Amino acid sequence: MRTISVSEITENIKEMCIEANHFLSEDMQDRLKTATKEEKSPLGKQILCQLEENLVIAKADMIPICQDTGMAVIFMEIGQDVHFEGGSLEDAVNEGVRQGYVEGFLRKSVVGDPLIRENTKDNTPAIIHYEIVTGNQVKITVAPKGFGSENMSRVFMLKPADGAEGVKQAILTAVKEAGPNACPPMVVGVGVGGTFEKCALLAKKALTRPVNESSDIPWVREMEKEMLEKINHLGIGPGGLGGTTTAFAVNINTYPTHIAGLPVAVNICCHVNRHAVRVI
């Protein structure tokens, strides 16, 4: 059994909130550079160049890469041989978010009640997903999620007979309806299977997979490739102003489901697709 103080969790999450909002992950930077070189539309290429310039300025001046610093989504993969001490783990996670957004001068975008809408002034509470795994380590993924793209996400409760073509059509429908509102080029996270809520979680987590990594399931890998090509032929392009780069990647996660259902979720993220990962 390994003991970890919750204060260590707080400190790491604070740093990760600041890191994710100021520095684009290496896989996303590489994909942006490639897209800039390959974009066929002059206007699209100009927009991609501006996005690259934005990253340089943000790094040099230590300002957020996007003004919407998002609602903090935290994935906690906790080894079953870990014991936490020093207080509540959930309180520690939220304290890390609070410190990160306050000390990092990040925009506070969370309201305490969905209808009364009074700002909590520290971007808490976070959305926290816990998973118990083997081992004695804790893997933390911090993924700030802006709502321009979040609002464009969809869940489709398909019939089993809809099959692979139904899944593909659902993905294209969500992307077409999102259009420029998701701040393309986008990353498209897809969840297939499970239940109503499970497919949405699968799609959300798919966004944290590096865009240069494909699924290890053959049919999923082929669908990811096919859908990326089809999405990039829609003509939406960078900033929604036309071009050949509408998406950087399509990441699909799957899970077993009921004989009577075929749930599909499409969770879209904008061109920054922020996430920071640490293992403690």
Distance CA 78, CA 280 (A): 10
- Secondary structure, 3-state, 103-138: HCCCCCCCECCCCCCCECCCCCCCEEEEEEECCCCE
Distance CA 172, CA 162 (A): 14
Tens digits of residue pLDDT in 44-92? 999 999 999 999 999 999 999 999 999 999 999 999 999 999 999 999 9
Amino acid at 155: V
Do residues 89 and 35 lie in contact, with contact meaning Cβ atoms separated by under 8 Å? no
| Phi, psi of 147, deg, nearest 5 | -100, -5
For residues 225-253, one letter each, b for 16 or more C-beta atoms within 10 angstroms of the residue's C-beta and e for the rest, the string is: eebbebbbeeebbbbbebbbbbbbbbbbb
Domains of the chain: 2-20+65-145 (no CATH), 148-272 (3.30.1330)
Count the residues in the chain: 280
pTM above 0.85, yes or no: yes
pLDDT band for 263, please (50, 70, 90 cuts). Answer: very high
- pLDDT of the residue at 48: 97
